Each structure stands twice: as C-alpha cells, then as structure tokens.
Structure 1
Amino acid sequence: MKLVTWNVQWCRGIDGTVSPQRIVAGARHLADFDVLCLQEIAVNYPGLAGNAGHDQPALLRELLPGFQLFFGAAVDEFGADGQRRQFGNLVATRLPVAQVQHHALPYPADAGVCSMPRMCTVVTVVDPALGPLRVMTTHLEYYSALQRMAQARALCELHRQACAQADAPPQPGDDGSPFQAKVHTANAILCGDFNLAPSDPDYPVLAGCLQDAWRVLHGELPQPPTFRVYEREYGPDPMACDLVFVSDALKQRVRRMEIDGATQASDHQPVMVSLR
C-alpha cells in the first residue's frame, strides 16, 4: 500500500497559482498512491491568496476517478455575505472503505494568539495484504503551542480508544441499524502537517503512542525538510513537520519513505510511505 500526504496550501504553489490539477499531478509523480491525504483544502474562500473561492473537494473528485473522497472541515462558517465556507483535510482512496469518522481536536483558549479549529479525519480502509487499517490525517495548530500540545495528546487518545475497541469490541450486530458491528482495528497510520519538529515537546507525545515511520527506516538520520524549503514567509529555517506515524503492529511493514524535495506546487513538500 502506498500513501501520499501533503499540505497543499489550498492548492497554491510558490508561484502563487492555485491549481488542484497540479497537486494531483505532483502526487501521482511521487507515487501510484492507494491513499492520498491532503491538508488545507478550501471551499469558497475567495480571500485566500491566489483565490481559493471554488469548491476544491468537488474539483479533486473530478480529478481522481476511481477514488472515494472524504472531506473533513475543521472550519465551517458563514461569511459576512452569508456564504458557507469550509477549510480542512481530505482523504482520497481507491481501497474499500469500512467507515469514516471526523474528530474535532481540542481548541483551548490562548488569548491573543492567531489560531483556528483543527480536526482529524479517520478513514478505515481494507488493504488486500494489510487488512483493515485506520488512516488518520490531521493538521495541527501552527501559532499556539498550547493548542498544539492538547491536539497531540488528543490524537494519542483517539488511537488508544480505537485499540481498546479492537481488543474489546462492542456487542456484535447485523440488523442494519447504526448499532450494527463496525470494523475495529489497532492498525493505524497517522499522517499530516503536525507543525512541530522532533526537538519540540509535543513530538515525544506522539512518538510515545505511535512509531515515526522515518525513524523506523532511518534511525536518527534527520528527515529531509518539508516546509520553508522554497518560501520563508513563516520562518528562516526549513523544517520537517509533515510526518507519518504507524502503529506498533505496522512497524515491520514499513518498506520505503520518500519526500519530493523538488516540487514547488505548494509551500510544503509531499511525503510518500509504502507498506507491505
């Protein structure tokens, strides 16, 4: 199974052009992916740089025939003009899907700090070789360390709850109601833009409940940077904040991980992980 994760900055490249077509082409250049996880997908936000006033999930659906797409809006609001606007994460997959969950992450008050709500979309897919696994994608707060830490802890709690459900599943049922039996699994991939580096205090929180796929393959060798590589608006130094974590049982399944350091289709670089 191949997964690509990418913060696409509402499909806006370093050249300022907003192009979902270029994003899909870039992801396909990196891998013939089975799962594509995108962060910063916009619906009806004409005020964003480069103008992302269109419905990007709808455009991406047209560009990905044969895939099911699941959009989770972390921000869901109405502008002064009365128009609904959404901003969040998207998971696209050509694998069979067992269930989809959207989890709002903690948003504790942090006075005077720029921030927005954050969420995690979980899509349980069924891979022919790996079986059921939860694909979790997220985008943690950039400006507020307080919120980012709370969100990292919440992601670990979501994983622990899912593992507990797999170990002690609810009463089985096949009556076709919402109480019918679900697919529960401890196998999970957590990916996205975490807006943190391994030296930050919230990294050990995540690494304490899941395995950093890059370190599984490369030990202490630093992961190549995925942010501020070609654009330094948000800081002078490149950093690796687009990460992939896997559950313990999948650790031995991680075979390859690549970062496309050349593309400038976003202000982040896409990351690919291959499991088998």
Structure 2
Amino acid sequence: MKLVSWNVQWGRDANGIVDLARTVREAQRLADFDVLCLQEITRGFHSLPGGPGDDQFAELSALLPGFTVIEAIGADLPAANGGKRTARRQFGNALATRLPVAQVFRHLLPWPADPSAPSMQRVALEAVLDVPGGALRVLVTHLEFYSERQRLAQVDELRRLQQEAAAHAAQPAPAENHEGPFARTARPVSAIVCGDFNSAWGSAAYARMLDPLAGSPAFIDAWTTLHPGATPPPTAGIYDTLQWSDGPLSCDFVFVTEDLRGRLARCEIDVMTQVSDHQPIVLELG
C-alpha cells in the first residue's frame, strides 16, 4: 500500500499560484498512491490567496476517477459578505482512496480557549480501509498553528482516539441488525496518523505523540524508524520564504502504530517539489 500525505495549501504553490489539478499530478508523479491524505482543502473560501475554486472536494473527485473522496470540515463559517456562490466557507482535510472503505469517522479535535493567538476548529478524518495484509485505520489531520496549548490538547485527543479504537477492537459491540446504523463496533488496532502537526520535530507535542499508550501499541515515526539516527529534512518553508520568514521547519509527519513496524517498506520526504509551501511524504507498507 502506498500513501501520500501533504499539506497542499488549497493547491497554492510556493509562488502563490493555485492549481489543484497540478497538485494532484505532482502527487501522482511521486507515487502510484492507493491513499492520498490532503490538508487545507476548501469550499467557498474564494478570497484566500490565489483564489481557490468553489468546491475543491468536488474537484478532487473529478480529478481522481475510481477513487472514493472523503471530506472532513474543521472550520465551517458563513459565506463572506453575504456571498451567494456558496452557502458556507469550509476548510478541512480530504482522504482519497481506491481501496475499499469500511467505516468513516470525523473527529472534531479539542479547541481550548487561548486568547493569546488566532485559531480555528481542527478535525481528524479517519477511514477504515481494507488493505493488503489486513484492515487498518488511516487518519489525516492538521493541528493548530499558533497555539501550543491547543496543539498539545489535540495530540492528547489523537492518542485517546487510538486507545478507544483499541478497546473497540478488543471488546466489539454486536450489531443490532444488518440494515440499521447500530453496526458492529470492531475497528482494527493498526493505524496510520498523518498530516501537518504544526509541531517541530523533537517538540513537546511531537514527543507526546510517541509516548507509551495504555491498552494500545504506541505510535512510532515512520520516517525516523526507517532512517535511524538521521534528522528529518524540512517539510515547510523551503521555497516559500515569505510565509516562513523564520526559516524552514520539519512539522509534517506520518506516525504508525508499533505493530506496523515490520511492514514499513519506505518513507520519504520529497524536498524538491515547489507545488506547495509544504513538502509531501510518501509511505509504503509491505
């Protein structure tokens, strides 16, 4: 299974030009992916720099025939200035896959008050996928940029969700019937959690993500596991020096549960593409 995780900044490249079709082509060049996990996909946010289209989730569906495109909205706001082109302005994550999709969950992440900085509601999108070697859960997320307090709370929630899934795997509730919504609650323990964590490599939030988990395999960093002793290259601010005036930063990660360690075949950060202000990560499971 091949997965690409990427904060694509609504298809905006390092020069400020928006072209979501080009972004998808670049992801396809990087890997013949089975799963594409994207952050910063929009609907109705026409005023963002570069002017993204009306509905980028629909654009992705058209650009990826044969894929299931799943969306999760974090920020959901009224149309600006009474605009009529779209009913809402929405900002979130997308997961596109050509693998069979079982359950889908959309987890709004904690948003504790922090008056010291701007912030927005964040979300984690989870899909249970039938992959070669057994089902697993893939979560794509994007944590708060300005507030460390909020980032830490969001990491704690991602860890709690893993423990919840492990408990459902160990003690699934039976289905009420085969037609209604009270389906069997079993979920696989194995998980991939990827995205823009807005947390520097080695930071408090990064370290907390790797702490042991009661009742569940802990998370490991796929890149550092496959590159022992190495420092990951920057994943943001290499080419867009205007937005990242403090310099490049390693803040995008792919974490996997410890039980997947033996299946890690490849994890690479592409540092050449300039199609976003962030760099994509390619993961391959054997």
Fold equivalence (TM over 0.5): yes
- 2:16 and 2:167 map into 1 onto residues whose CA distance is 45
Paired residue for 2:107? 103
Paired residue for 2:278? 268
Instruction: Give a deviation string over 1:144-163, Cα, whole Å, max 9, x none.
Output: 01100100110000111001
Shift of 1:13: 0.6
Identity of paired residues, percent?
45
Residue 73 of structure 1: SS of its match in structure 2? strand
Q: Which runs of 5+ in 1 are unaligned?
A: none
- 1:73 and 1:231 map into 2 onto residues whose CA distance is 26
Paired residue for 2:215? none
Paired residue for 2:152? 149
- 1:81 maps onto 2:68 in alignment: no
CA contact (8 A) 1:8 1:40 kept: yes
- Alignment TM-score, normalising by the size of structure 1: 0.96
Instruction: Give a deviation string over 1:61-87, Cα, whole Å, max 9, x none.
Output: 100000000010001111331531110
Residue 204 of structure 2: SS of its match in structure 1? coil
Letter in 2 for 1:149: L
Paired residue for 1:136? 139
CA contact (8 A) 2:73 2:91 kept: yes
- 1:169 and 1:215 map into 2 onto residues whose CA distance is 33
- 1:112 and 1:81 map into 2 onto residues whose CA distance is 29
Pairs within 5 Å for 1:167-182 = 167-182=170-185
- 2:186 and 2:274 map into 1 onto residues whose CA distance is 39
Paired residue for 2:230? 221
Higher deviation after alignment, 232-241 or 51-60: 232-241
Higher deviation after alignment, 116-125 or 45-54: 45-54
Higher deviation after alignment, 44-53 or 145-154: 44-53
CA contact (8 A) 1:165 1:184 kept: yes
- 1:259 maps onto 2:269 in alignment: yes
Higher deviation after alignment, 50-59 or 230-239: 230-239
Letter in 1 for 2:95: V
Pairs within 5 Å for 1:238-249 = 238-249=248-259
Letter in 2 for 1:192: G
Shift of 1:236: 2.4
Residue 130 of structure 2: SS of its match in structure 1? strand
Paired residue for 2:120? 116
Paired residue for 2:40? 40
Shift of 1:218: 1.1
Higher deviation after alignment, 179-188 or 243-252: 179-188
CA contact (8 A) 2:171 2:186 kept: no
- 1:196 maps onto 2:206 in alignment: no
Shift of 1:172: 4.1
- 1:166 maps onto 2:176 in alignment: no
> RMSD over aligned Cα, in angstroms?
1.2
Structure 1 ranges of 4+ moved more than 6 A: none
Q: Which runs of 5+ in 2 are unaligned?
A: 212-217
Shift of 1:183: 4.4
CA contact (8 A) 1:99 1:183 kept: no
Q: How many residues align?
A: 275
Shift of 1:182: 4.1
Paired residue for 2:11? 11
Letter in 2 for 1:123: A
CA contact (8 A) 1:132 1:183 kept: no
- 2:185 and 2:96 map into 1 onto residues whose CA distance is 21
Letter in 2 for 1:201: A
Letter in 1 for 2:82: D
Letter in 2 for 1:267: D
Residue 272 of structure 2: SS of its match in structure 1? coil
Shift of 1:53: 4.0
Residue 95 of structure 2: SS of its match in structure 1? strand
- 1:210 maps onto 2:212 in alignment: no
Residue 202 of structure 1: SS of its match in structure 2? helix
